[in-house]
Structure 1
Amino acid sequence: MKKDVAILRQFYADDFVFTHGTGYVEGKESWIKDVENPAKKFTSREHDSTLVELHQDLAIVTGRLIISRSEKDKVYRYGIRYIRVFALRNKNWQLVSHRTIKEWHYS
């Protein structure tokens, strides 16, 4: 998967907050640095069960995501359920919050 951080910088709001399933919280630049890490490679991201609730300039998205990634010599496959909040700012939709509400791992 391509690591297009220029697109991520546009897509994520400057006040973006990412709450991981572990409770760890990070902001936009910290998350983008993590994505840029050459030791971490996402091999697939499969979305399903996606629901969008639209309220004028606010959208709440819930869904399930199955992720496969490698880091060094290890392969990880795990699933999450999430809530994402998007805001319409300056005529563009931006992701302001991602919260993992459930996480499970495959062996």
Structure 2
Amino acid sequence: MLLFRLLIVTAALCAAQDKAAILALDKQWSDAIVKSDTATLGKLLADDLVYAHATGIIDTKKSYIAKIKERRQVYKSFEQHNPQVNIYKDSALTFSHVRVTGTNQAGVFDDKIMLIHFWVKINNAWRLAGHQTTKIDKIP
């Protein structure tokens, strides 16, 4: 019985640690996009990343980092609200509402979006494998 309780406590602690790690990685990602830190993005993004913008444009890891590096996508601010994390063994899903500002090839943007990130554990390291945003009228 004691062993069973220890296993439950250990599993709960691991899940809490994974949730904290994913939230920290989401923060590293948002800091990196605002700072145009392509080196950090290179480490965080999975090689087979699918990056779906609210505009319908789809980027790969290579094309997204190139946009940041070439200043075709510049983020001025990124305000995340009430992030939620669900862990599924070696994958995690985050959901939040965001206000993001900056410039891109279409001009200046000041968007309110729903953001979903899909993180996967590859060789014992979490990597962002999926990004999807949808424009919304207001942040709840």
> Normalising by structure 2, what TM-score?
0.66
- How many residue pairs are counted as aligned between the two chains? 104
Segments of structure 2 that go 5 or more residues without pairing to the other structure are 1-33
Aligned-pair identity in percent equals 26
Flag the structure with more relative contact order, 1 or 2, with Cα contacts below 8 A and sequence separation at least 6: 1
Q: Deviations over 1:34-70 (max 9, x none)?
A: 1122354322100012110001111011111111114
Mapped partners of 1:78, 1:54: distance in 2: 28
Using the TM superposition, name which of 47-56 and 17-26 deviates more: 17-26
Task: Please state whether the residue corresponding to 1:32 is helix, strand or coil.
Answer: helix
Q: CA RMSD in A?
A: 2.1
Segments of structure 1 that go 5 or more residues without pairing to the other structure are none
Q: Name the structure 1 match of 2:131.
A: 98
Aligned ranges 1:65-104 → 2 under 5 Å: 65-70=98-103, 75-100=108-133, 102-104=134-136
Aligned ranges 1:1-107 → 2 under 5 Å: 1-38=34-71, 40-70=73-103, 75-100=108-133, 102-104=134-136
Rg larger for: 2
